A and B are shown apart, each in its own frame.
Chain A
Amino acid sequence: LGSGLQSPCSMHRAELSVKVPPSRSCPSGLCALLQPGSSPFPAAHCKTSWECVSRSARCCSSLPARLTVSYCRSSGPGGQHVNKVNTKAEVRFHLASADWIPEAVRQKMASMHRNKINRDGELIVNSEESRYQMRNLAICLEKIRTMVTEATETPKVVSKETTQKLIERVENMNRERLRQKKIHSNIKQSRKADFD
């Protein structure tokens, strides 16, 4: 426990001695403030760190195009809040025409979750677990992600050698058990006194 405690302390002390994370190489905007003129946080540096965000954001937005989201009132207890506020989030998408899922996975999903697919072929996922719409939406998306991952995973193929090994293992165990049993039986018999 003592050794475990020491290492994080030293790590933190090392961090503190650096004081400022490596990206902000200029020794703080304080120097800039102490001299007249320049702004504390160089704007150019800012822009680059925010810009890389926008480029990658465009490629992975699944929400607006492919999924239909609707909100309605949740069920259950909760008084005025549950009666008035639209907190239940429902996400639906047409499974057969979802080209962002591979064909085989689509088939698997259709068979695994056939109870969640309606007559028009739309897979419906809803969530009313949380008080907040945003969180319910996040839960729906998470459910969809798990569905797709489950459908993608291939069943484990057990090789012939492994099955043979397993059978051999069981046979060996049984053989050993019977041998021990016979030895024990002999010991017990040798203790018997036969009245002849």
Chain B
Amino acid sequence: MSGNGGNKALELLRSLPRVSLANLRPSPGSKKRERRRGRGRYGGRKCGRGHKGERQRGNRPRLGFEGGQTPFYLVIPKYGFNDGHSRRRQYQPLSLQRLQYLIDLGRVDPTQPIDLTQLTNARGVTVQPLKRDYGVQLVEEGADIFSAKVNIEVQRASELAIAAIEKNGGVVTTSFYDPRSLEILCKPVVFFLRGQPIPKRMLPPEDLVRYYTDARNRGYLADPSKVAEARLELAKKYGYVLPDITKDELFKMLSTRKDPRQIFFGLAPGWIVNMVDKKVLKPTDERLLKYYSS
């Protein structure tokens, strides 16, 4: 049956004239005529403006006006819900669905540790450090279809997102980047062209220390044994068998983590990357070495 249909279609293509603007027409019922005001019996006469008054004359009062009664938006008293909203830390959401999409399309390489730099280079997320963005947070959307084994490092992650990644044999870490380090992380090339040495990454402020030292959030300052316990607990809670990463061939890659003072994998603070000569300059002075390794 499919063979015959194919033959008929080919015959038609050979015999019919070329498709051009003269032969095309929209399917019946798809395009409806628009209603033009001021034309004809129905669009004309009062032209949809009503009878006399402010309505017809176009002089209605402002939005929210209730005829003199104190309007709703003034009756309700102010409360500090929005106090300091422009100074709050923001985290750009990254759904697991988006991450899976990027991996499937080959924009992000799951065989290397995934970092904010990798995500920015793949144009998966756009982070604006100047707009109080402190990084990326993992969101649960797409947790059920996520099936990639990755070593990912974000700034915040929800419990279900962590569970979804660990179920597939991956590793999640949450770490802190202060705004200067974040800008350097997102736009490395621009920073290297400045010719400044890579700075140390600062430690988190007081209210975030608790978050990053907690194993349940897979914080980078947490105890690794506690993190292992937390992985087990999560597996018990969500009812999946925790895959053994030590038996994995990519174990070395999955267990690579950055030092708390390091911004880039493979580059230490204090080094200068020369883009023109394609060289990396390292400090030799004792005081500098002491400062950068503290």
State in angstroms the CA–CA spacing of A141 and B236 once bound together.
9
Among A33, A60, A63, contact of B240 (Cβ-Cβ < 8 Å):
A63
- Residues in A neighbouring B218, C-beta threshold 8 A: none
CA distance A142 to B236 in the complex (A): 10
Q: Are A132 and B223 in contact (CB under 8 A)?
A: no
Which residues of A sit under 8 angstroms from B167, Cβ to Cβ?
Answer: 134
Q: Is the CB of A23 within 8 A of B223?
A: yes
Interface residues of A in 25-74 (CB under 8 A from B): 27-31, 33-34, 40-41, 43, 45-47, 49-54, 56-57, 60-64, 67, 69
CB proximity of B266 to chain A, nearest CB, Å: 8
Query: Are A9 and B239 in contact, with the CB atoms below 8 A?
Result: no
Across chains A and B, the number of contacting residue pairs, with CB separation under 8 Å, is 131
- Contact check, B238 vs A34: say whether CB atoms are below 8 A apart: no
Residues of chain B contacted by A29 (CB below 8 angstroms): 259, 262
| Contact assessment for A23 and B293 in the assembled complex, using a CB-CB cutoff below 8 Å | no
B241 contacts A16, C-beta separation under 8 Å: no
Q: Is the interface of A mostly helix, strand, loop or mixed?
A: helix
Q: Is the CB of B268 within 8 A of A30?
A: yes
Cα-based distance from A186 to B15 in the complex (angstroms): 123
Interface string of A106-138 (1 = CB under 8 A from B): 000000000000000000000000001111011
Known A-B contacts A12-B209, A52-B225; the reply to A134 vs B238 at CB < 8 A is yes
Q: Give the distance in Å from the alpha carbon of A71 to the alpha carbon of B105 in the complex.
A: 28
Is A156 interfacial (CB 8 A cutoff)?
no
Contact A15 B209 (CB under 8 A): yes
Cα of A19 to Cα of B210 in the assembled complex, Å: 13
B225 touches A23 (CB 8 A): yes
B203 at the interface (CB under 8 A from A): yes
**Interface presence of A178 (CB below 8 A):** no
Contact of A41 among B206, B244, B257, B267 (CB under 8 A): B257
Flag whether B275 is at the interface (Cβ < 8 A).
Answer: no
**Which B residues lie within 8 Å of A138 (CB)?**
237-239
- List residues of chain B with CB within 8 A of the CB of A33: 259, 262, 266-268
Q: How many of chain B's residues touch chain A, expressed as a range?
A: 35 or more
B209 and A30 contact, CB distance less than 8 A: no
> Is B213's CB within 8 Å of the partner chain A?
yes
The verdict on A20 contacting chain B, using a C-beta distance below 8 Å, is yes
Residue from A16, A46, A54, A134 with most neighbouring chain B CB atoms (10 Å): A134
CA of A39 to CA of B203, assembled, Å: 22
The answer to whether A21 has its CB under 8 Å from any CB of chain B is: yes
Shortest beta-carbon distance from A8 to chain B in Å: 8
Contacts of A40 in B (CB 8 A): 256, 258-259, 262
The reply to whether B239 and A132 contact each other, CB–CB distance below 8 Å, is no
Judged by a CB distance under 8 angstroms, whether B224 is at the interface is yes
Cβ of A85 under 8 Å from chain B: yes
**With A and B bound together, what is the CA distance between A142 and B104 in angstroms?**
34
Determine the distance from Cα of A133 to Cα of B141 in the docked complex, in whole angstroms. Answer: 11
Among listed B82-90, B189-197, B227-235, interface-contacting one: B227-235
Q: A134-B143, A134-B160 are in contact. Are A61 and B261 (CB under 8 A)?
A: no
A-contacting residues, B26-81, CB 8 Å: none
Query: How near does chain A come to B40, taking the closest CB pair, in angstroms?
Result: 39
Q: Find out whether the CB atom of A41 lies under 8 angstroms from the CB atom of B160.
A: no
The reply on B246 being an interface residue by CB < 8 A is yes
* Chain A interface (Cβ < 8 Å from any Cβ of B): 8-9, 12, 15-16, 19-24, 27-31, 33-34, 40-41, 43, 45-47, 49-54, 56-57, 60-64, 67, 69, 85, 87, 132-135, 137-138, 140-142
A-B contact pairs, 26 of them (CB 8 A): A15-B209, A15-B213, A20-B260, A21-B221, A21-B222, A21-B223, A33-B262, A33-B266, A34-B268, A40-B259, A41-B256, A43-B255, A49-B225, A49-B227, A49-B228, A53-B242, A54-B242, A54-B246, A57-B241, A67-B239, A132-B143, A134-B160, A137-B238, A137-B239, A141-B237, A142-B237
Q: A34-B268, A69-B239 are in contact. List 19 more A-B contacts (CB 8 A).
A: A15-B209, A20-B260, A21-B223, A23-B224, A27-B293, A28-B259, A28-B260, A30-B261, A31-B293, A33-B262, A33-B267, A40-B258, A41-B256, A49-B228, A53-B242, A57-B244, A61-B241, A63-B239, A137-B238
